[in-house]
Amino acid sequence: MPRNYFGTDGIRGRTNQSPMTAEIAMKVGQAAGAHFLRGKHRHRVVIGKDTRLSGYMMESALTAGFTSVGMDVTLVGPMPTPAVAMLTRSMRADLGVMISASHNPFADNGIKLFGPDGYKLSDESEAAIEAAIERAPALAESAEIGRARRVDDAQGRYIHFAKSTFPEDLRLDGMRIVLDCANGAAYRVAPSALWELGAELIALGVAPDGTNINEKCGSTDPGAMQAKVLETRADIGLALDGDADRLIVVDERGQIVDGDQLMALIGVAQARRGLLRGGGVVATVMSNLGLERKLAAEGLGMIRTAVGDRNVLEAMRSGGYNVGGEQSGHIILSDHATTGDGLVAGLQVLAELVESGKRASQLLHQFDPLPQLLQNVRFTGGAPLEVDKVKRAIADAEARLAGSGRLVIRKSGTEPLIRVMAEGEDEKLVREVVDEICEAVRKAA
């Protein structure tokens, strides 16, 4: 059934354009609030946001929607997405909301919803809320309208939680860390957590102005962090994205370490300690074949899902896994969190680094990845992947890669992009097939 509002990760779009308008945000608050009004207790929703200029508008509109149907609102301000999920559980709230478009530019924004268990909503709940958006809301009686208040110690609660995932007998004393917070949601909590653990910290992306989130910084653009690591002779660099649910690492040589390498590191370490559940790791179709081979060599399995941390988490829950993630840096450690958490994942990496006594370049490059190339093609309308010439180009590429590689082509669930990825033993062939498909898509688009 086609959706008008919800995509692969909540509701997302350009602000002041449907569906990311104040009017629709208020309706989402009314619909989601009414959906979670269950029982006779005072109902509560926790609302967090990143640092986008439009966050003020969306926060106010959602608050109006929730309070109008009788739900109390707890505002926690700029906080990582995983912090909102955690606070929803710890505060015994009925619902959690994160206002963020993650790694997208500042002009975009989004609404992510969490149930009382801290997990993202099921397809059924999203469908019910979407249907209710189009109906007139059942407004509360005057005396039953909800109240709104801000919680001042929410950041401290999350910092304490994140630090609790770091081994108690370890510290970060003497370790020089470059931390890039993408001018986003973690710009206060992440530096505080690392500093309290003893790190010598060099912080980047900690001066948000409403429009600079993810701009030439963060996990999607780690160039500044790479340069700073080399300049300061740091031991490691950690980069979060706008809502801090993903992590990209840079070793002391300035080399990028992606989510695949981090999953290999954490998965193998957990297995060595007897803590890995499910007998392996959950990844997506975008993860490098090198990860699969590394895990197999350690006697561990790997299952692949469709792209999206939500799909990864569903497979983890159904299969009993506790480590999963995406190449892009969404690392889900279900022993600690109900969603990807860049800071928590970073702390596990740092713990392995401290315990091993090795340099980041020695420890973090767990396997040699196969040549892999991903290119994005932006389109403005229509369905480029349904055009005959594009279909033929894809079929030709699959035939050329048969037996020596693989091809993954998909439409982004969060942006108007066609993503084309090829992987194989022959780097030249990989580049050729990606270029040919992208050219066909550009012409069709």
Per-residue pLDDT of 350-394, as tens digits, reads: 999 999 999 999 999 999 999 999 999 998 878 899 999 999 999
Average pLDDT, the chain: 95
Copy the structure tokens of residue 420.
């084309």
Residue-wise DSSP of 12-66:
EEETTBTTBSHHHHHHHHHHHHHHT--SSSPPEEEEEE-S-TTHHHHHHHHHHHH
DSSP state of 142: G
Give CA torsion, residues 238, 239, 242, 243, to 10 deg: -30
Whether the pLDDT of residue 43 is over 60: the answer is yes
Copy the structure tokens of residue 317.
């829950």
Q: Which residue has the higher pLDDT, 111 or 3?
A: 111
The confidence band for 9, taking pLDDT boundaries of 50, 70 and 90, is: confident
Per-residue pLDDT of 156-193, as tens digits, reads: 999 999 999 999 999 999 999 999 999 999 999 999 99
CA distance 371 to 406: 11
Per-residue pLDDT of 16-32, as tens digits, reads: 999 999 999 999 999 99
> Is 91:77 a contact under the CB 8 Å cutoff?
no
pLDDT of residue 2: 61
pLDDT of residue 179: 98
Whether the pLDDT of residue 1 is over 70: the answer is no
Cβ contacts of 367 within 8 Å, gap of 6 or more: 261, 264, 288, 290, 291, 293, 294
Per-residue pLDDT of 395-435, as tens digits, reads: 999 999 987 889 999 888 777 899 999 999 999 999 999 99
18 is catalytic: no
Q: Helix, strand, or coil here: 202?
A: strand
CA distance 333 to 200: 26
Burial of 88 (0-12, 13-18, 19+ CB in 10 A): buried
Catalytic residue among 54, 100, 102, 328: 102
Q: What is the pTM of this model?
A: 0.91
> Is 41:35 a contact under the CB 8 Å cutoff?
no
When pLDDT is averaged across residues 115-133 and rounded to a whole number, the result is 94
Taken in order of first residue, the domains within the chain and their CATH numbers are 6-152 (3.40.120.10), 157-254 (3.40.120.10), 257-363 (3.40.120.10), 372-444 (3.30.310.50)
Nearest to 192 by CA among 234, 222, 168, 156: 156
